[in-house]
Structure 1
Amino acid sequence: MSQKHVTTTLTLERLWQFSLQYYSVREVKEACLSLQNNFHGNVNLLLLLKWLDEEKLTFAEHDWPTVSDCLSSSETLLHSYRELRRKLKLSVPETLYREALQFELQLEKQQQSDLVHCIANLSLATTDTPALAARYCRHLGAEHLGRIFSKPIEPFSSKS
């Protein structure tokens, strides 16, 4: 890892668009849902880490708690809302359920905003061996999913 501080081009809109495109890949979506549902992982954090990996950027070991802490304000709300939406799925009209999904997406975007703000306050460095996403999966006990997120991103096409 280079010790040189680098400036990132990360914005909320760039992370959001990256996330929508990357998550649209079936294998990635399935792995993200498994990470969330089976290993209690945070998909927005994973997507941020994957973006950093793709940009060949990393942060210092001692910054992991800072990154995790920036999720604390939104994670409880998002988790509670997600559970409520799942319970409502079978008892509300489809249009209302879709509105609930849209609101959940707004909460997801707010969480990504929190992550972008957090990363902007860290010292980032370049790396030749990006491994943040895989490391996060390993930390959660989901090494097999880390292999999926370690694959280089293929150019996105309109067929995704």
Structure 2
Amino acid sequence: MTRKPARTSLTLERLWQFSLQYYGVRRVKEACLELQNQFRGNVNLLLLLKWLDEQKVTFQEEDWHKVEECLGRSETLLNSYRELRRKYKQHLPDTLYRESLQFELQLEKQQQSDLVECVNSIPLIANQGDPLTLRYCRQLGGERLYSAFSDPASRYTNV
């Protein structure tokens, strides 16, 4: 049985706005940070996967590695910068620390741009299996965190 290609229109701005709204939900933010800090997960990838779940689309199993590989360019830089910012938090004036957070957000947006480009280059199909966010949480060993991502985003946002 062949699965029909799914039509969806993902842009950086669409994913970015979705991410800002969805991540703004306290329960979601806490689960994202735990996924990142305890399970070494990537929050931008999780937000992309949640967006795809909301569209009821997925990609083929063999494309998982392509999606994860597209993080390679920015992940090391982002993690190094984040670690440095945390290390110097106590030593920076408040205004400089806020500027460092803004720069980190720019790095996050660049990473989302890489993800959007990648996902737009692979075929998407209607998802008839488990949500991508559940699969990602399982893959990282943090399946219990999925409950924070299981509700439709529209319950918390106007997307």
Same topology, TM > 0.5: yes
Alignment of structure 1 residues 62-141 onto 2, 5 Å: 62-129=62-129, 131-141=131-141
Q: Which moved more, 1:15-24 or 1:1-10?
A: 1-10
Q: Which runs of 5+ in 2 are unaligned?
A: none
- Is residue 156 of structure 1 aligned with residue 157 of structure 2? yes
Alignment of structure 1 residues 11-50 onto 2, 5 Å: 11-50=11-50
Change (3 A) 1:2 1:29: farther
CA contact (8 A) 2:35 2:145 kept: yes
Q: Tell me which amino acid in the other structure corresponds to 2:32.
A: C
CA contact (8 A) 1:15 1:112 kept: yes
- Is residue 51 of structure 1 aligned with residue 51 of structure 2? yes
Structure 2 Cα separation of the partners of residues 47 and 8 of structure 1? 16
3-state SS of 2:125 partner = strand
Q: Which runs of 5+ in 1 are unaligned?
A: none
Change (3 A) 1:128 1:83: same
CA contact (8 A) 2:53 2:133 kept: yes
Change (3 A) 1:2 1:109: farther
3-state SS of 1:68 partner = helix
CA contact (8 A) 1:15 1:51 kept: yes
Q: Tell me which amino acid in the other structure corresponds to 1:112.
A: Q
TM-score computed with the length of structure 1 as normaliser: 0.94
Q: Tell me which amino acid in the other structure corresponds to 2:50.
A: K
3-state SS of 1:151 partner = coil
CA contact (8 A) 1:39 1:142 kept: yes
Structure 1 Cα separation of the partners of residues 69 and 129 of structure 2? 25
* % identical aligned pairs: 65
Q: What displacement does 1:156 show?
A: 2.2
Q: Tell me which amino acid in the other structure corresponds to 2:86.
A: R
Q: Which stretches of structure 1, 4 residues or more, deviate above 4 A after TM superposition?
A: none
Q: Tell me which amino acid in the other structure corresponds to 2:80.
A: S
Q: Tell me which amino acid in the other structure corresponds to 2:157.
A: F
Q: How many pairs align?
A: 157
CA contact (8 A) 1:44 1:112 kept: yes
Q: What displacement does 1:128 show?
A: 4.2
